């Protein structure tokens, strides 16, 4: 087994990863919320309203959303801390937005319906869900 090329790749990965981790560790809750909102480019307040208006609470329990106590889909409390979305997608802001917009395209066997959520609204929804996952 030739390990000659493995070490430089590991060093390069550490050189990239360590500054990112250091930057994240310096973020307090408010800075982290702002960073996520900027990464998602959504508005959490609009997202909360959209989650209510699209009826997401009829299937999901969603913290802070009036009447969102559904038991069909998973509870969305702490969704931002989960490793995966829908049991299969790495939990990233872009993947959450894609899942909200096109769940049937990502997993044709999901029971989550396509609600025809536009991208800007999906970004708002994702921003709200991440903001509640402190």
Which of 7-16, 35-44, 119-128: highest mean pLDDT?
119-128
CA–CA separation, 30 vs 52, rounded Å? 24
**Does residue 8 surpass a pLDDT of 90?**
no
pTM of the model: 0.72
105, 110, 115, 118 alpha-carbon torsion, rounded to 10° = -40
| Alpha-carbon span 18 to 26, nearest angstrom | 12
Q: What are φ and ψ of residue 120, in 5° steps? A: -65, -40
What domains are defined for the chain?
28-131 (1.10.760.10)
**The pLDDT of residue 13:** 45
Helix (H) / strand (E) element for 16: namely helix 6-25
- DSSP code of residue 61: B
More confident residue, 67 or 6: 67
């Amino acid at each position: 087994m030739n390990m000659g090329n493995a070490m430089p790749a590991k060093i390069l990965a550490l050189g990239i990863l360590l500054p990112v981790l250091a930057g994240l560790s310096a973020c307090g809750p408010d800075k982290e919320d702002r960073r996520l909102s900027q990464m998602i480019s959504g508005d959490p307040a609009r997202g909360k309203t959209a989650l209510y208006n699209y009826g997401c609470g009829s299937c999901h329990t969603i913290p802070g959303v009036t009447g969102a106590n559904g038991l069909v889909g998973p509870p969305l409390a702490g969704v931002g801390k989960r490793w995966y979305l829908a049991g299969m997608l790495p939990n990233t802001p872009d993947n959450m937005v894609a899942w909200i917009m096109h769940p049937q395209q990502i997993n044709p066997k999901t029971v989550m319906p396509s609600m025809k959520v536009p991208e800007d609204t999906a970004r708002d929804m994702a921003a709200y869900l991440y903001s509640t996952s402190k």
